[in-house]
Amino acid sequence: AEKIAKYTGEMKLYVVNFTDIQLYIYDQCPHEQLTIIMRRYMMKIAEKLAEKEGCLGLVTGESIGQVASQTMHSLAATNEVCTMPVYRPLIAFDKQDIVEIAEKIDTFETSIQPFEDCCTIFV
């Protein structure tokens, strides 16, 4: 967050424990829809935090087609749970463009570090 703040201005980083929600979704929802349902919950949580902070929108690093869950249909489905605007400045960038930007702003090495995130709990 500190490195990105050089380009965006002051920001707060929130880390949300998502495991209990994820386990509930896993137990209650069709498994073929897990990713989109989890993303919808994440967006709703992000929106609640943004509202608390008086923000006017959400900004994500999503780019069409970078991963299977970042399709037009999936992004539309995640947007449906938000009432505030969702900005995606990297939406049309390809992977190499994003890598080059990350290298330029010194965030690439952090982005490729192995990290146990909410997606690895079911692997």
Instruction: Give the model confidence (pLDDT) of 63-116 as tens digits.
Output: 887 677 788 899 999 999 999 999 999 999 988 999 999 999 998 888 788 766
Read off the tokens for 12: 């707060």
pLDDT value of position 119: 58
Q: Which domain does 32 fall in, by range?
A: 2-122
Number of domains in the chain: 1
pLDDT value of position 39: 92
DSSP alpha helices (H): ranges in 9-94?
19-28, 34-53, 72-79
What confidence tier does 121 reach under pLDDT thresholds 50, 70, 90?
Answer: low
For 72, phi then psi, to 5°, come to: -60, -40
Read off the tokens for 87: 């900005």
At 28, which CATH number?
A: 3.40.50.620
pLDDT value of position 116: 63
Rounded Cα distance between 63 and 88, Å, is 7
Return mean pLDDT, the chain: 88
